[in-house]
Chains A and B, each alone.
Chain A
Amino acid sequence: MNPANHQIDQDQLVIRIKAREAEAFSYLYDHYSAAIYGSISRIINDEDVAQEVLQDAFMKFWDKIEQYDSSKGRFFTWMVNISRNLAIDRLRSKEMKKAGKTANIETYVSGIERDNLSHLSVDTIGLKEMLKSLREEEQFILEMVYFKGYTQSEISKEFDIPLGTIKTRLKMALKNIRTVLQIE
């Protein structure tokens, strides 16, 4: 999927949500809940908790829409960061941290293989191809940062990898994904 297709929708949606249009909220949910839920459920393994966070996130999109500033980034980036932060806060508050973040370099299994992602709404093959184009260490950093909600400095401490190396690898990973998806 080419995310650029969403650009007009996103800007229009923001205007309509600011105007408190319930239809716009419904549209937002229909089109973005799966992408948002994916981001949350990779951080929180417990399905019930992940669903609560999803609801909190959408209520926050609706209630805090005035805080979104389009000059500072895309609407989706704003939404996904709110969702990730809610998920990470929940993980920490419930002391679920240990259960959620048991991965280490030896036991880490690519998150896309996990059961709860078996009902992916978009093509898994494309994603696997995409991840295959990454080097193993790039995949690992992307997994930890993007799929598991670690900050880059947390990975640095926990796995004893220099922060600069992590930044470079994350950069390369995202760059390769761009190349595969032809965003450049």
Chain B
Amino acid sequence: MQISRTLKILTVLACFVSMPLSAAPQAPGSLEVNVKNVKIDGKPAKLSRKRFYLIPGGLAENSALLTRIKGAEITSKNCYYKGIQASDQYICWLQAENCESPFCRVVDGHYLEATDKLAVPEFIAAYNKGLPLYKGNTTIARQWLLTNMPDALVNGYYRQQQKVLGTVLAGLRPLQSSMTDTAGIRTTFLDIALPGTAGKSKYLVSNVLPIEIGDKSYVWTCEKDVETGKKAVLDISKAGKNCEVTVRDLKVCATTPCGEK
């Protein structure tokens, strides 16, 4: 009795061992997206720190996404800040270094001096709000300015961008997203696991969120084959049949001319 049970167990184990293994996973591929040579109206467009998304399938398979990209409602940075009644000085502070939010750079002391022509009322208000909270510690009140500013001024623009992103993607889940480097040369998608056993598969690369350059916005949507174990290179400056560039005019929201830079 016991011997037959042992035999049964051994038989089951043997079946497992002799079962054909599923095909070994293919070596992942990678895709370098080169943005260095992109030009707008003949001038180099530095696509620095821009997020690109990797989506399975080519342009044809993702036509619905392209339609949404073309139809997305876009509010420019200036219009957003104008819309929430940010002061002209605040908008100028952002514009001076092409910042999208105050997370961009350190607020220098003179922007907090009420008598300075560059003084930003929002920063001064946040500083004054912080002082009593930090027992009069001026250093902390200045360093932690962002914790005492209204949410719309600090995070609002980012949240709005994320909302646009969610609407355009409409539930589509990109495989990866990656940002271009500060020099505006490239970004790389690594470890792309190709489906099936084809050894090659088509992918879409798009910034999805329009990039503001001048008074226009740009979305690059390009397809590229990725091969197992190899690095593919996509140069979006060489936009041909494999690329769609969506260019749209941005609504202009006039802001007061900024004195510096």
- A and B found bound together: no
